[in-house]
Amino acid sequence: MSGAPVSGTPVSGTERPGPAPDVAPSERPAKSAPAVPGDAPVRQSARSRRASRGADPGRATARRAPADRTTHPEPARHPEPEPAANHAPANPGAEGPGAEPRSIPDPLQRLPAWGRPWVPPLLAFLTLAAGLIDIVSALTPEWRARLADLRGILPASASRQAAAFTVVVGLLLVLLSRGLRRRKRRAWRGAVVLLAASVVLHVAKGLDYEEATASAALLVILIVTRREFTAKGDPRTRWRALGVGLLLACASVVIGLAMLELRHTRIVGPDSFSDQIQQVLLGLIGIAGPLHFVSDRFADLLTRILLTMGLVTVAVTAYLALRPPEPRPRLTADDEARMRCLLDRFGASDSLGYFALRRDKSVVWSPTGKACVAYRVVSGVMLASGDPLGDNEAWPGAIKAFLNEAAEHAWTPAVIGCSEAGGTAWARAGLSALEFGDEAIVDVAQFTLDGRSMRNVRQAVGRVERAGYSVRAVRMSEVDAVERASLRAQAAAWRGAETERGFSMALGRTGDPADRDCVAVMAFTESPDGRGPVLRGFLHFVPWGTDGLSLDLMLRDKSADNGLNEFLIVAALKCAPDLGVKTISLNFAFFRSALERGGRLGAGPVIRAWRGLLLFLSRWFQIDSLYRFNAKFQPRWVPRYVCFPSTGDLPRIALAMLEAEAFLVWPQTKLRPALGRMKARGRRRARALRPAGKH
């Protein structure tokens, strides 16, 4: 259908795949994990899905796989026994012949965000509204009749102090609403305490029964729905204290200015904006400002509100700064060693497997330790890339651990760049899969520069060769430490101030001694002054099994001749047999099928419109240019998928992907790097002053 939506069809996790096609032992899987017994391609036709639903009368009608869904036994090639404490096999579909069908708990049932997704956002909105009501109620005048009745119970100073506390409670409720939306248990506890205080304060400040009733009702609802808020807190550092302190200070200033504006008639004499700012800033530290008021009661109320907010700002900031930090976990040396062992055994299954060794990732393991999932948390999205690493029979255990980790912290789980086998495994766990691009794979034995289709590449390579360029391809184990350091320095110089991009297909480092099997393909020209060859560009590849390479980095001197990148890739393909390489993975092309199909004769209006949007976005993102560059080498295209819980999560996941790949970079303060440089200079000075012989 020429007018069909572009790249792929979302696949529900409740689909039951059929048997996978047989693969000859001599065929090597290209950038996808070995076929799992019982796995099927991720995409299924609507007719087959309806047929499978009709064939299973006991199947639940819910979109996600229910907990009481039974699985039929099927033979497994290498079933992986799980520890007895877990009471679950590594592969739910491989229980051995003769096993009784039994219920397999769905890992996604531990994610309450997909059970009743409307509860936390609704309560977060109500908490936000309650906080704003508290602030407005405290800043606006009270009913005189109610104040007269209150005077017989409490002194006027107590009611004014209650109004000041009400403003602070409202401000804190506004801040906690975000944590409630993410199901944080600490946010729930804080909201319960603050709402209980709000009920008392509304009565104490002016007998505001309406606001007190609303707060009490919301308090009861939060208590009733307490099981919805079970997520752990996010990893934290002391830098968070600075952000919260600035936020509270700005909010205090805004509230103070709003109160002066609402009670403008209470001000005596001129009240310029600068005087109002001065009044508020001095009031936050308990000093009288330049403004005068017609009523001592209002002056006392303003002083109490500003001073209370100032004290709370200082107290909260100090608490966040002094509490023990809980930094986000990173790859440990033991994790990396275990992952390298898995790569030695199963690295040929996925060309993205080596990129799991990025050191800004964390990792979760299957109970048996035979598989793992590397991930990074970006803006509340737990983002994994590629297939799970390790034995495909242990993938379900690693996937379950990944989903449980996401559930415990209320992170949104997502996977980018997985293969068809990986997408099937994630779909079985309850996620949906969508094809979002293709990876270019070039078989070394079949590559040739002959033919009309290769004319542009052939001309570019010839032009660079006539310019006097030479090439060298080596394993990093053959490069000494001095040359590795020079390579890193040259890469940093060529990159300049630009942010290094990449997450799913980038290692994030060059020349590390641990990456001995990586390959560098370098292009040189002779120096004009006769000092020897000068590096003009290089490619960095990571290993893909024992006889494959996956492109990691491609950098060049901006003054180098056009066609240098084509020259380097062709040189890598020519040198590949000497390095024992049979297959090379090039760049990833986002939505390649849309760009290709949308440009064909007779393409429908939908696919043409989608292609036009992609071409428009190519002004800022390398979408069309990467596809065209990869297509020059006549590769075979291997689809890659993104997996996600629900369609409503896609916008958030897309932003997290852009941020992880460094296509979207938020402004960062220069304070932290400056403090880091100061600490480094202090350590160097201390070492210089240390007496000789003391270490």
Question: How far is the C-alpha of 195 from the C-alpha of 170, rounded, in Å?
Answer: 9
Cα separations (Å) of 294 from 155, 300, 306?
A: 21, 12, 18
Q: Which residues contact 620 (CB under 8 A, 6 or more apart)?
A: none
Residue 177 lies in a domain: no
Which domain CATH number covers 388? 3.40.630
The pLDDT of residue 374: 92
- Asked if residue 547 and residue 494 are part of one domain, the reply reads yes
SS3 19: coil
Q: Is residue 289 situated within a structural domain?
A: no
Helix (H/G/I), strand (E/B), else coil: 179 = helix
Q: What backbone torsions phi and psi does residue 171 show, to the nearest 5 degrees?
A: -65, -40
To the nearest 5 percent, what fractions of the chain are helix, strand and coil? 50, 15, 35
How confident is the chain (695 residues) per 10-residue block, as mean pLDDT? 38 38 37 38 40 39 36 39 38 37 41 60 91 85 68 76 87 88 87 91 84 91 87 70 83 85 77 83 82 79 84 83 66 89 92 90 92 89 91 93 88 91 92 90 92 90 90 90 87 72 79 89 84 87 92 88 91 92 89 83 84 84 84 91 89 86 58 50 54 44
Vertex 633 angle, CA 590 and 642, to 5°: 20
Using alpha carbons only, how large is the chain's radius of gyration in Å? 31
Pairwise CA distance, residues 41 & 18, whole Å: 8
Q: How far, in Å, CA of 55 to CA of 50, rounded?
A: 9
Identity at 663, one-letter amino acid code: F
Q: Quick check: is 187 in a domain?
A: no
689 burial level (CB within 10 Å; 0-12, 13-18, 19+): exposed
Q: Among candidates 626, 592, 628, which has minimal Cα distance to 610?
A: 592
Q: Quick one: 422 and 512 in the same domain?
A: no
- pLDDT on residue 236: 64
**Domain CATH for 548:** 3.40.630.30
> Any bridge partners for residue 70, and if so which?
103
Is residue 255 domain-resident? Answer: no
Are 559 and 582 within one domain? yes
Length of the chain: 695
The secondary structure of 210-276 as a DSSP string is HHHHHHHHHHHHHHHTGGG--BPPPPB-THHHHHHHHHHHHHHHHHHHHHHHHTGGGEES---HHHH
Assign residue 291 a region (left: φ > 0; alpha: ψ between -120 and 50; beta: otherwise): beta
Tokens, residue 443: 């078989």
**541 and 605, same domain (yes or no):** yes
How many structural domains is the chain composed of? Answer: 2
Any alpha helices (H) in 286-433, and if so which ranges? 296-322, 333-346, 395-409, 420-428
Bridge partner residues of 441 (DSSP):
585, 636
pLDDT recorded at residue 686: 55
Nearest one of 206, 221, 177, 191 to 297, comparing CA atoms? 206
The reply to whether 672 and 524 lie within a common domain is no
Q: How far apart are CA 381 and CA 64, in angstroms?
A: 20
DSSP structure class, residue 465: H
8 A C-beta contact, residue 365 and residue 371: yes
- Which residues form the domain of 612? 440-644
Amino acid, single-letter form, for residue 580: G
Whether residue 357 is found in the same domain as residue 371: yes
Helix (H, G, I), strand (E, B) or coil at 475: strand
Same domain for 578 and 480: yes
Q: Tokens 């560098």: give the residue.
A: 520
pLDDT at 243: 78
- Which residues are CB-neighbours of 395 under 8 A, at least 6 positions away? 33, 36, 91, 366, 371, 387, 388, 422, 425
Same-domain pairing of 457 and 413: no
Q: Do 447 and 429 share a structural domain?
A: no
What local confidence, expressed as pLDDT, does residue 620 receive?
78
Q: Do 491 and 633 fall within a single domain?
A: yes
Question: From start to end of 80-157, where are the E strands?
Answer: none
Gap between the Cα atoms of 423 and 59, Å rounded: 22
If asked whether residues 405 and 343 sit together in one domain, one would say yes
| Helix, coil or strand: residue 252 | helix
Query: Distance of alpha carbon 478 from its chain centroid, rounded?
Result: 36
Whether 160 is covered by a domain: the verdict is no
Q: What is the pLDDT of residue 341?
A: 93
Cα 75 to chain centroid distance, Å, stands at: 37
**Matching residue, tokens 């009240």:** 271
Same domain, 613 and 506: yes
